[in-house]
């Protein structure tokens, strides 16, 4: 979609879909509407800068069930649910299912547009974070098991003699492994290594 920010609207109410389409198009979004969750799943085309807005209660597949199906299909898309009865249990269930936000009717056009922009910005930040984590993990995966052990020790601030004592090898051997792993990782300082190890560990959260 050429970098445009897109909004997908799922609601069985045609009048709402048409009104929402006008609102978001006037705000500069590319808009696609669907009359059901099934229609959305059939017609969805992945794009980065996008947000899904859906009604909680619809005939057939409802909002929470659609959220679950998105997760099962590993569709990474921020979702805003709106409902006429956003009580605490409903809100908790929606957030646990992966919704970015729950909005209660009636709501203003300005509020919904603001929520969508927040959702897209948050998704963009998360994608960048995930990419950094994946890159760090891939780089460390290219090391030998011994090099990864030494990399962790260096990131923890241990000296070569301390690492040697912990691993049962000489400090000179530690230095040789250190030089090799620095070369493989294309870094020249322990601070850069510590940052890399930290990012890789975030992938285990």
Query: According to the model, what pLDDT value does residue 132 have?
Result: 93
Query: According to the model, what pLDDT value does residue 66 have?
Result: 87
Query: According to the model, what pLDDT value does residue 183 have?
Result: 95
What angle (nearest 5°) sits at the alpha carbon of residue 145, between those of residues 144 and 148? 85
What is the mean pLDDT of each successive set of 10 residues along the chain, which is 205 residues long? 78 90 93 91 86 84 83 87 74 80 84 93 91 94 94 94 95 95 93 93 68
**pTM score, whole prediction:** 0.75
Query: According to the model, what pLDDT value does residue 92 have?
Result: 79
Query: According to the model, what pLDDT value does residue 95 have?
Result: 80
How far is residue 121 CA from its own chain's centroid? Answer: 11
Cα 148 from Cα 83, distance rounded (Å): 50
Tokens found for residue 77: 């898309």
Query: According to the model, what pLDDT value does residue 2 have?
Result: 40
């Amino acid at each position: 979609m050429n970098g445009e920010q897109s909004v997908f609207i799922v609601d069985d109410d045609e009048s709402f879909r048409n009104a929402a389409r006008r609102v978001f198009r006037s705000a500069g979004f590319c808009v696609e509407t669907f009359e059901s969750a099934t229609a959305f799943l059939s017609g969805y085309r992945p794009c980065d800068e996008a947000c899904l807005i859906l009604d909680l209660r619809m005939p057939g597949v409802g909002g929470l069930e659609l959220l679950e199906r998105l997760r099962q299909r590993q569709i990474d898309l921020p979702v805003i649910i709106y409902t006429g009865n956003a009580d605490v249990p409903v809100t908790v269930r929606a957030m646990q299912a992966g919704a970015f936000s729950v909005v209660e009717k009636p709501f203003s056009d300005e509020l919904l547009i603001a929520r969508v922009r927040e959702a897209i910005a948050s998704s963009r930040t998360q994608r960048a974070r995930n990419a950094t984590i994946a890159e760090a993990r891939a780089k460390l995966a290219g090391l030998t098991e011994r090099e990864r052990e030494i990399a962790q020790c260096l990131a923890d601030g241990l000296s070569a003699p301390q690492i040697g004592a912990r691993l049962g090898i000489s400090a000179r051997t530690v230095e040789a492994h250190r030089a090799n792993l620095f070369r493989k990782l294309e870094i020249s300082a322990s601070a850069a290594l510590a940052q890399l190890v930290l990012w890789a560990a975030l992938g285990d959260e």
